Amino acid sequence: MYINFETDPACVPYLSSGFIDEFCDDLVARFDKGVALDLHPLDIDEFAVRHMGLRPVYKHMSCNFSVLGAMLFEDTDSFPVYDPKRNRAEYSSAKEGDIVLEKRLLEANQNDRLRFTMAHEVGHALWHGLYYNSLKKRGRGVSGYMLCGRRNLLSTDESVARLSRSGLIEYQANRSASALLMPKSAVKRLYGRLGVPETPDEKDDLVIYTAAAFRVSDFAAKVRLRDLGML
């Protein structure tokens, strides 16, 4: 997929939040119009594979569940993983286009986190390949992959994110994950059905209904509704 956008000198893209929302809305509509029309969850696994040409791969990535995912921008034989049987860090092979996900995210109680993590890595695939190619050309010794921990997936404040390139990159991936899993047109449709929340209880209900409709966490739903001016 080729996307034309302007970047800063380090090839970090200039992306407004509105542009990310509109672009991801269109991507989802091309893949599955029912997400917005019927308000059902996006199959993010199928979207990553069929629409983006990416490959989800599951490995143990850390001993303490601190690393949740990674996007591979080139082949490597030195991808860091964790062997729980031997209780030690090791290296594994991974290929360009792999989305490596923490294996424990396959547990039933981690489904919302798995969906958001995969969508976050899709966001990196959309926007940040040029940045890593730029680092490589400048001899920065980059590894060809981007590891994403829990903190990366909590980057929701744009003004704070813009204080550093790494923060901005993570914000862009998170905004993209939200926009893919909860497209603006779909959230507006749900909002129209439920009506404007006025009391604290009604606002809580809106968050709960949004989370249930799109199979995301209450936290992710609340952030998305806030960003769209609906809370």
C-alpha 97: how far from its chain's center? 15
Residue 216 lies in a domain: no
Whether 227 is in a domain gets the answer: no
Residue 100 inside a domain? The answer is: yes
Does the predicted model carry a pTM greater than 0.95?
Answer: no
State the 10-residue block means of pLDDT for the chain, 231 residues long: 75 91 96 95 97 97 95 94 95 96 96 97 94 76 83 75 82 96 97 92 96 96 95 89
* Phi, psi for residue 9 in degrees, rounded to 5: -60, -25
How many structural domains is the chain composed of? 1
**Would you say 44 and 119 are in contact if contact means Cβ atoms under 8 Å apart?**
yes
Residue 168 placed within a domain: yes
Residue 218 lies in a domain: no
In a domain, residue 53? The reply is: yes
Please tell me the distance from the alpha carbon of residue 26 to that of residue 5, in angstroms, as a whole number: 16
**CA neighbor of 170 nearest in space, from 181, 178, 161:** 161
CB atoms within 10 A of CB 53: 10
Residue 228 lies in a domain: no
Q: What is the DSSP string of 128-195?
A: -HHHHHHHHHTT----SEEEEETTGGG---HHHHTTSHHHHHHHHHHHHHHHHHS-HHHHHHHHHHH-
Counted residue by residue, the chain has a size of 231
| Diameter over CA atoms, the chain | 55
Question: Measuring CA to CA, how many Å separate 24 from each of 21, 126, 130, 180?
Answer: 5, 10, 19, 5
Quote the domain boundaries for residue 96.
17-182
98 within a domain of the structure (yes/no):
yes
